[in-house]
């Protein structure tokens, strides 16, 4: 479970808006700077399934309802995500859709490497990058970057997925900067991203805001380390000069995955749990406010 925490702050926000006046059909002209006042309302309560909901944006900052010129605006994407709905915005029809995170069936045409596939999606051949995991390189144009383990992971994914029908699930962003679809891939109802971690074929890689399953991914990786699976064969926990008890103590990592905190209520934002040992191994730094 992700945790939503909040600090109670009321403040006014003054915005400079550029108001566009529409003259005629679809022609906008005359941009004018205007000062308006909006108010963030942390005292407005949103209850979903009998629980008071708190929201944060992709940077982990708290999101509040906004009162602007007498109208209340709600953080629809955050509400949808909290309800477990997929929130889609279609620019052309100006439609927001909240739907169950439906998985779409596709055929895997080719496995590119351990964490990248080519699938036939909505009539197009598309590259799919598995979210939240990284396998070592095996198909990099620079042969120096390819490793034995990368080839092993590629062979593993190829064996499991090539020619199969899988289901795709999206997170917040549908595509990455290279135009690849960002997906959780399911084979026979089991998530393959997590299986790669469980088998030690891939390492966790946190990609805010696409962090829906980051907590269970981190746990799967921990089990793989403890079992010495795949790349973790012969793994010995790094020594950070802390006691075993400290190593296993729970810390809270922000959704941006850069810092770890002593408490889940340190600042506003979304946190997931980790052990201190894992946070240190991932190179995260201690929050200077709570440590
Ligand atoms: Zn902190």
Which sequence spans correspond to the domains of the chain? 3-92, 104-236, 238-291
Instruction: Tell me if 132 sits within 8 A of 206, measured CB to CB.
Output: yes
DSSP-based three-state secondary structure for 232: helix
Ligand 1 center to residue 290 CA distance, Å? 4
Ligand 1 center to residue 238 CA distance, Å? 23
Ligand 1 center to residue 204 CA distance, Å? 23
pLDDT at 11: 36
* Among 21-30, 63-72, 148-157, 226-235, the least confident range: 21-30
Share of the chain above pLDDT 70, in %: 83
Of 35, 202, 30, nearest to 113 by C-alpha is 202
Instruction: Tell me if 120 sits within 8 A of 109, measured CB to CB.
Output: yes
pLDDT of 291 higher than 60: yes
Higher pLDDT, 51 or 192: 192
pLDDT of 17 higher than 70: no
Residues 35-49: what's their mean pLDDT? 80
* Among 41-50, 93-102, 133-142, 228-237, the least confident range: 93-102
pLDDT of 49 higher than 80: no
Distances (CA, A) of 246 to 103, 227, 242, 251: 40, 21, 6, 10
Under the banding of pLDDT at 50, 70 and 90, the label for residue 20 is very low
* Residue whose token pair is 């308006």: 36
Q: Is the peptide bond before 209 cis (omega within 30 degrees of 0)?
A: yes
Under the banding of pLDDT at 50, 70 and 90, the label for residue 32 is low
Ligand 1 center to residue 190 CA distance, Å? 35
pLDDT at 21: 35
Ligand 1 center to residue 1 CA distance, Å? 19
Under the banding of pLDDT at 50, 70 and 90, the label for residue 99 is confident
pLDDT at 80: 81
Higher pLDDT, 160 or 4: 160
pLDDT at 107: 97
What amino acid positions are annotated as catalytic residues?
Answer: 129, 137, 180
Ligand 1 center to residue 241 CA distance, Å? 21
pLDDT of 18 higher than 60: no
Residues 50 and 275: their CA atoms lie apart, in Å, by 31
pLDDT of 142 higher than 60: yes
Pairing mode, strands 285-286 and 259-261: parallel
Class in CATH terms, 104-236:
mainly beta
pLDDT at 25: 38
Q: How far is CA 260 from the centre of its chain?
A: 17
Instruction: Tell me if 170 sits within 8 A of 183, measured CB to CB.
Output: yes
Share of the chain above pLDDT 90, in %: 37
DSSP letters spanning 59-86:
TS-EE--EEETTEEE--HHHHHHHTTEE
Under the banding of pLDDT at 50, 70 and 90, the label for residue 100 is confident
pLDDT at 173: 86
The pLDDT mean for the chain works out to 82
pLDDT at 31: 55
Note the pLDDT tens digit of each residue in 208-252: 788 888 888 989 999 999 999 999 999 988 899 999 899 989 898
Instruction: Tell me if 214 sits within 8 A of 152, measured CB to CB.
Output: no
pLDDT at 50: 75
pLDDT at 185: 98
pLDDT of 281 higher than 80: yes
Q: Virtual CA dihedral for 96, 173, 224, 82, nearest 10 degrees?
A: -30
């Amino acid at each position: 479970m992700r945790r939503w925490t909040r600090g109670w702050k009321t403040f006014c926000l003054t915005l400079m808006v550029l108001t566009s006046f529409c003259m005629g059909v679809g022609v906008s002209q005359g941009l004018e700077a205007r000062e308006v006042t909006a108010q963030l309302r942390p005292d407005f309560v949103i209850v979903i399934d009998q629980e008071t909901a708190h929201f944060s944006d992709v940077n982990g900052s708290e999101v509040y309802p906004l009162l602007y010129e007498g109208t209340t605006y709600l953080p629809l994407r955050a509400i949808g995500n909290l309800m477990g709905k997929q929130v889609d915005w279609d620019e052309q029809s100006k439609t927001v859709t909240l739907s169950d995170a439906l998985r779409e069936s596709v055929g895997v045409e080719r496995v590119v490497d351990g964490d990248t596939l080519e699938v036939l999606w909505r009539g197009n051949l598309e590259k799919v990058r598995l979210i939240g995991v990284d396998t070592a390189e095996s198909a990099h144009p620079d042969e120096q970057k390819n490793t034995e383990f990368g080839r092993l992971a590629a062979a593993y994914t190829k064996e499991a997925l090539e020619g199969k029908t899988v289901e795709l699930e999206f997170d917040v962003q549908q595509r990455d900067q290279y135009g690849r679809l960002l997906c959780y891939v399911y084979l026979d109802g089991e998530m393959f991203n997590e299986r790669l971690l469980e088998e030690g074929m891939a390492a966790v890689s946190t990609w805010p805001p696409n962090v829906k399953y980051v907590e269970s991914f981190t746990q799967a990786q921990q089990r793989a380390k403890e079992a010495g699976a795949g790349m973790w064969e012969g793994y010995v926990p790094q020594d950070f000069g802390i006691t075993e008890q400290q190593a296993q103590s729970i810390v809270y990592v922000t959704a941006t995955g850069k810092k770890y905190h002593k408490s889940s209520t340190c600042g506003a934002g979304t946190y997931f749990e980790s052990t201190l040992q894992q946070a240190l191994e991932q190179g995260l730094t201690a929050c200077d406010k709570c440590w």
